[in-house]
Amino acid sequence: MSDRLISRPRVEGWPLAAIAGLLITTIVLAGVSAANKREAARQQAARVVVASLQERALVFADGPGGDVLVRDHRTGEWLEPIVGEAGFARGVLRTLAQARLRMGGAQTEPFILSRNAANGLELSDPISGRVIDLTSFGPDPARVFLGYLKQYDSPSVSRVESKGDRL
């Protein structure tokens, strides 16, 4: 055997501390992420089913001059369009439409606008399962959509289950 020693690089001092810190940070972040996913799944399973007092199936389409055309899906009747900027309404509809397109849904399928027993106003997409609570943004933005339920005098009592994401 040779008397020659094999030289190995040593990792000590601040490089060792940096590597240890990086490993610990990675493990902690992975744990936090897993906990958040479990909590989200628990909340999804615990969603309360609220009876819908009134609901209406609506189809939205782009109109001339940037307006949003609104049609009652059941009767085919064209309703009052959403005119002008209406940034809130456009944002809500864009969010739902993008989720629907990602799921492979058609733009001709209706969205469901409903008022529930808890006095909430929701716009949902049965294709993607997404639900937006319109009243969580305040009373003024929700009025744009509330008008479509007030025009509709035939309330239906049914069960609305939120099986999708709540925004």
Pick from 68, 70, 167: which is nearest to 123 by CA? 167
The dihedral of CA 71, 164, 138, 52: what is its sign? positive
Chain CA centroid to CA 88, Å: 15
**pLDDT tens digits, one per residue of 117-138:** 777 889 999 988 888 988 888 8
> Does pLDDT of 167 surpass 60?
no
For CA atoms 20, 26, 30, 32, give the dihedral sign: positive
Each residue's pLDDT tens digit, 16-25: 899 999 999 9
- What is the share, in percent, of the chain residues with pLDDT greater than 90? 27
Indicate the pLDDT class of residue 162, thresholds 50, 70 and 90.
very low
Q: What is the DSSP string of the chain?
A: ---PPPP-----SHHHHHHHHHHHHHHHHHHHHHHHHHHHHHHHHTPPPEEEEEEEEEEEEE-GGG-EEEEETTT--EEEEE-S--HHHHHHHHHHHHHHHHTT--TTSPEEEEEETTS-EEEE-TTT--EEEGGGG-HHHHHHHHHHHHT------EEE---S-B-
What is the Cα–Cα distance from 23 to 11, expressed in whole angstroms?
15
pLDDT the model gives residue 83: 84
State the pLDDT at residue 158: 38
Let me know: does 68 contact 89? Beta carbons within 8 Å. yes
